[in-house]
Structure 1
Amino acid sequence: MILSVLKDYADHRMTLPPAMYGETKVAWLISLSEEGHYEGVVSLKSKEKKRGQPIVAPHIGRTVGVKPKLLADTGEYVLGIGRPTSKPERVKDCHSQFIELVQNCFLATDEPSVKAVLHFLTTSELEKAKADLPKDFDPGEVVTFRVGNILPADSGYGLTSVSTFWANYTAGADDDNESNLSSKMTCLVTGETTTVEQRLPFLVKGLIGGQPSGTALVSANSAPFMSYGLQNSLTSPISRDAAERFVKALNSLISDERSRLYIGSTIYVFWTKQETVFNPLAFLTKPSAEEVDALLRSPFTAQEAAGLDTSKVNQFYALALTANNARAVVRDWLETTIPNAQANLQRWFQSQQMVDPYGAIHRPLSIYALAASVYRDASKEMQPTAPTALIRNALHGDRIPEEMLVKLIRRNRTERDVTYPRAVLLKLIFSSYSPRKEMMTNMEQLNPNPSLQGQDLTAYSCGRLLAVLESIQKAAIGSVNASLTDRYYGSASSTPAVAFPALLKCARAHLSKLRKEKPGVYTALEERVEDITQSIMPFPNSLGLQQQGLFGLGLLLRLKKFFIF
């Protein structure tokens, strides 16, 4: 399904180069006359483009075998100059096969610019160029030719005869041509019976942790991954055309910052079946208050989205990938409709909202800010599952796994605090649980006593009580190095029956002092303690995981003076 949708994107949303052409960074340009006489060598490298200027040139997948690329390749192939570690016999073979390929191209096309390159390669003109190379020439960098004003390797010059030759030459090309040409199977992407590839011709670029040359989305080159005698990509048979198209589509999405999102080692790409002005990436990465407000004011609802015919509305897709050396790992795949994605984003930002006592709504938070809040050092510790779960919740309405709540509670206890991002994340987690969704809706009103019952109300009230007891301490003795929250958050949030009796005893001493020195403050705080403890007594011996989350919300409500929508 993923590959078919990507191919469909390439078919209908992209302008593709000729078959088996791909972007290549060219470092050196050998200038020739129209007759093929050497005129000079030009460096295309710069501080900004250290590997050279990109052009769209003939491409072929290769590993350890000798496979020349037409008219643009490394110095070993084009000039026969090896690197210090290269074997002379192999360099000679690379160069001779490159010349043979250019010769075959000329015989098939009769293209004048190719004839000029062939003349250069087969006469003393080649030695003139080799003697003229600068000291910083690296044989591992790509070299191509300019004949007069034409770069015959560059698809932009429209040499149709050359691109047609290359398409025919590479059809079914692999390390073992005879074996691969006989591999006629049903393509998993198109459903057609055709020649399929043993190794896919293009690799996925831009994955963190992947090899510089790229990573394979479909590959099996070890015995445990093979079956029925099928090796490499034949375990998932795909035609060359389909493989080229879906990889080019994916690389295009990855290269465009408007359709990709990096979080840690994971990359997320987003696209739609048809063009649309709706782009959720801005909402997920840097949500602005104005854009979120406009989204929330939109009259479109989740109920309306659910009633639409999905076959007639624009489809929305999201793909999460990581790299494991030479292979791409699919972490998640999401398919929905644009209306559903919009409706779910509305709900997601509505669930985020918290206001202070003055009615100010605090900023909406990005996926990264929320996911990072449960880690000490998100840049080193964040797992792909965390942002993936939040993206699925934001765009598809999926439940956030309890694993996220476990990490959140642990981070609260470690830091002895409930930060604003973690409080928002708590709301999102509870809103994604069906039994608690109504409870979060009831908390939308500016009411410090939401309609909770049983252990939920007790846990929430315990959090409020700890905040009030800390206020009593500050009013009585001023600032201290370690507050009550710093010292007792862990025990108060998990075993209230152990922590609170001692805390209340200490608070009574502070209240006695306040009654003499600040009677007004004493009266207000005493009333708050009595009001809260009425809904708690007796203190529970322990609180469950979700109750500890409600404890955190109650603490934040009083301590940081936020109200929960």
Structure 2
Amino acid sequence: MLIQRLAEHARQSAGAETPRYYRNRTVRWALVIDRKGTPSLISRADSVNKAGSSLPTPYLTRTSGVAAMLLADTLEYVFAVAKDDTDKAQAAADRRNDAYLDLLKAWRDAAADPVADLVWRTFQAERHLDVLADLPDEAKSSDMVAIMVEDEWTHLRPSAIAFWAQVARDRKSSGNDGWCLGCGDYGALLKTIPEMVKGTLIPVGLDASGRPKRGRDAALISVNTTAQGRMGTLQLANTPICEECGSAAMAGLNHLLSDDRHRRRGDDNVFIWWLREPADFNPLIIDAPQLKDVERLLQEVHRGQPGTRVDDNAFYALTLSANQSRVVVRDWLDVPLPEIKAKFARWFRDIASTNRWTDGISYTPLWQMVRASGQWSRTRKLYRPGSTAHGLDRDLLHAALHGTPPPSHMVAHLLHRIRNDHHVDLPRVAMLRLALTRHPYKEKIMPGLDENATDPAYVWGRLFAVLEAIQHRALPEANTTIRDRYFGLAMTQPAATMRMLRTNANGHLKKLIGKEKTRPAGLALDSRLAAISQLIDRESGLPTHLDAKGQIQFILGYDHQRAHDIAAARAARAAKATADASQS
């Protein structure tokens, strides 16, 4: 099914851009031949593209041995430039050059093309070797070189494209006929998938300095040892695919992996998606959730409840990673479009949270949630690069696509981070609310302050926020707040922490109420503290210890109360400014 869907996509959109069995590669040198057969070598490097610029060139996976590409290949193949000065390396370069020359002659013999004849005669007479004197010492045997006749790339001529397609079919054919799993037709089957995924298209993780590591070209299907194949069979014997489906599927896959509009790159995975038919939906909204776009999605899903609308469009998505030279399919989705829209609507409902700095509900981008799993630097006021939880990006994406809970280890990891760095922000709150809303807790928690909630941990979080506000008002110049000193303790031992902080707060309130300037603020904070305290059961009081669920509730209560108080203060300032303006 996956091969079939990729092939369908290629036929609809990707096939017209690049000829089949061609890939965009960086070409460093151009061997230019004029109509008299005189060659010259031109560097394609410049200040911007120091290694040359990209061109669509003939390409097939070189699984082993010697396999030349038509007209555009490395210096080793075109000029027999060896990798080093050893006799062994030179012998290998000579074999590759012989294969390249044989391919040029075969093109000349198969095509009634005067350009093919001119190129072959130039190489047959070894006039192309005259340009080696112009090759600088820093040139590498792996540098790509392509041939031009005057101002035309020879490998893009129709005769070259057609000939190379036949070479590809011959090289990759298994020699057997059978039923193709992709199209269901009977015909010639492939021995191996004709093209690999380029190493740069699938992230493979970060190095010690936090920079992306370079991956290898990877095969979507690879069975090259008897231990991997069923009953010891090799290659595609148990995965029959015809040449048409195999080449189209890889063209579609590489097209999606190269298109920023249809891919999302993580640290060690890449997510790609497409639709059966064009439609106004893009799952990459998960990384850039504009309020108007999310609200439109929520309204659409609410209006179109199951059974009320007919929509036969389909959503397809792949999550891939790489293991050495093999592609690892982490996830594959083939679902109706309304179903994935409903999943995303649920995701946004489950992560919605109030923002302290703006009014109303905010929806956190997934990438910010992943970043917030890292270590918070109090001095630099940012998350340390490279400290995020391993695999969380992929796990949260899976939760969004399938409507499943986030990984259980996320809660423990996040609570550990918060206990140590005492930092609570919107992305962390969004993750905790997601965990609390979905299995195993399945708690109904509001995105903002719930003034009627009586959960002891939630109420304790609200109280802690007010106690912090009291200290800040009484000691505005204090270098250390109660959050800096006691937040980790408050998360786990509410009763003991409350007794200590309440005693200190009494002194702060007395100081505030005793001064005329701060008396209104002191009375308001005292009243707020008393009102929230009424929500605590008088007999049971606050818990002695909080489990993971209780710690989440505490953090949410704390954040919700802070956001509510800041919003109220902002509204009061705006009202006062309006009143002052009207009086003046």
**Coarse TM-score class (shorter-chain normalised):** 0.7 to 0.9
Inter-CA distance 96–531: structure 2 relative to 1 (3 Å threshold): same
Residue 486 of structure 2 corresponds to 488
Q: Tell me the distance in 2 between the aligned counterparts of 1:485 and 1:200.
A: 58
Structure 2: distance between partners of 1:217 and 1:380: 29
* 3-state SS, counterpart of residue 143 of structure 1: strand
1:302 to 1:515, Cα distance in 2 relative to 1, 3 A:
closer
1:201 aligns with 2:194: yes
Q: What's the secondary structure of 1:173's corresponding residue?
A: helix
Instruction: Identify which of 263, 273, 277 aligns with 1:260.
Output: 263
Residues of 2 paired with 1:533 and 1:13: CA distance? Answer: 63
Q: Cα 1:213–1:153, aligned 2, differ >3 Å: closer, same or farther?
A: farther
Aligned position for 1:421: 427
Runs of 5+ in structure 2 lacking a partner? 205-212, 376-382, 568-584
Query: Could you tell me how far 1:245 is from its partner in structure 2?
Result: 1.8
Helix, strand or coil at the partner of 2:545: coil
Aligned 8 A contact 1:332 1:388 in 2:
no
Q: 1:465·1:555 contact (CA, 8 Å) conserved in 2?
A: yes
**Which residues of 2 match residues 270-289 of structure 1 at below 5 A?**
270-281=273-284, 283-289=285-291
* Stretch deviating more after TM superposition (427-436 or 122-131): 427-436
Identify the match of residue 394 of structure 2 among 388, 392, 404. Answer: 388
| Separation (CA, whole Å) in 2 of partners of 1:399 and 1:48 | 46
Q: For 2:289, what is the secondary structure of its paired residue?
A: coil
Residue 88 (str. 1) matches residue 83 (str. 2) = no
Measure, in 1, the Cα distance between the counterparts of 2:186 and 2:502: 78
Change (3 A) 1:120 1:419: same
Aligned counterpart, 1:177: none
Q: Shift of residue 257 of structure 1?
A: 1.3
| Separation of aligned partners in 1, 2:20 and 2:522 | 81
User: Contact 2:449/2:560 (CA < 8 Å) preserved in 1?
Assistant: no
> Aligned partners of 2:373 and 2:151: how far apart in 1?
58
Cα distance change of structure 1 residues 562 and 40 upon mapping to structure 2, 3 Å threshold: farther
CA contact (8 A) 1:58 1:69 kept: yes
2:118 maps to a residue whose letter is A
Partner of 1:468: 466
Structure 2 vs 1, CA of residues 212 and 524 (structure 1 numbering), >3 Å: closer, same or farther? closer
Q: Percent identity at matched positions?
A: 26
Kept after mapping to 1: 8 A contact 2:202/2:215: no
Structure 1 48/284 Cα, relative in aligned 2: closer, same or farther at 3 Å?
farther
Once the two structures are TM-superposed, the CA of residue 427 in structure 1 deviates from its matched residue by 2.8
User: Where in structure 2 are the equivalents of 1:18-167 lying within 5 Å?
Assistant: 18-34=19-35, 37-84=37-84, 87-154=89-156, 157=157, 159=158, 161-167=159-165
**Partner Cα separation in structure 1 for residue 323 and residue 385 of structure 2:** 18
Q: Render the CA deviation track for 1:70-120: whole Å, top value 9, x for unaligned.
A: 111112211222232561222111111211121122212222111111101
Give distance in 1, aligned partners of 2:190 and 2:12. Answer: 23
Give the aligned partner of residue 306 of structure 2: 306
Letter in 2 for 1:417: H
Structure 1 segments unaligned to the other structure (5+ residues):
175-179
Q: 1:472 to 1:360 in 2, by over 3 A?
A: closer
Amino acid at match of 1:365: T
Distance verdict in 2 for CA 1:218–1:358, change over 3 Å = closer
Q: Whole-Å Cα distance in 2 between the matches of residues 18 and 75 of structure 1?
A: 23
SS at match of 1:153: helix
1:352: how far off? Answer: 4.3
CA displacement 1:322-352 (0-9 Å, x = unmatched): 2223222222233333333344444444444
The 3 A distance-change label for structure 1 pair 231 and 173 is: same
Task: Please identify, of 544-553 and 493-502, the stretch whose mean Cα deviation from structure 2 is larger.
Answer: 493-502
Which is further off, 249-258 or 466-475? 466-475
SS at match of 2:300: coil
The whole-number CA distance in structure 2 between the counterparts of 1:461 and 1:354 is: 17
SS for the counterpart of 1:486 is helix
1:557 aligns with 560
> Helix, strand or coil: the match of 1:428?
helix
- AA aligned to 1:332 is D
Match of 2:13 in 1: 13
Instruction: Pick closer, same or farther for the CA change 1:515–1:384 going to 2, 3 Å.
Output: closer
Separation of aligned partners in 1, 2:307 and 2:521: 56
Q: 1:141 to 1:521 in 2, by over 3 A?
A: closer
* 548-557 or 223-232: bigger deviation: 223-232
> Any idea what the Cα deviations from partners look like across 1:215-237, whole Å, max 9, x if unmatched?
22222445653441123454544
> What SS is found at the alignment partner of 1:238?
coil
* Alignment size in residue pairs: 542
- CA change 1:122–1:352 in 2 (3 A) is same
1:448/1:563 contact within 8 Å kept: no
1:245 is matched with which residue: 241, 248, 253? 248
One of 174, 177, 180 as aligned partner of 1:181 = 174
Alignment-mate amino acid for residue 79 of structure 1:
F
CA apart distance, 1:519: 5.0
Q: Which residue of 2 aligns with 1:458?
A: 456
Q: Calculate the TM-score normalised by the size of structure 2.
A: 0.83
SS in 1 for 2:231: coil
Q: Which AA in structure 1 matches 2:416?
A: R
In 1, the alpha carbon distance for the partners of 2:354 and 2:565 equals 6
The answer as to whether partners of 1:24 and 1:54 remain within 8 angstroms in 2 is: yes
CA distance in 2, matches of 1:167, 1:370: 46
CA distance in 2, matches of 1:184, 1:542: 69
- How far 1:153 sits from its partner (Å)? 0.7
Quick check: 1:270–1:316 contact (8 Å CA) kept in 2? yes
Question: Paired residue for 2:409, among 388, 394, 403?
Answer: 403
8 A Cα contact 2:34 2:149, kept in partner: yes
Change (3 A) 1:171 1:7: same
Over the residues paired in the alignment, what is the CA RMSD in angstroms?
Answer: 3.1
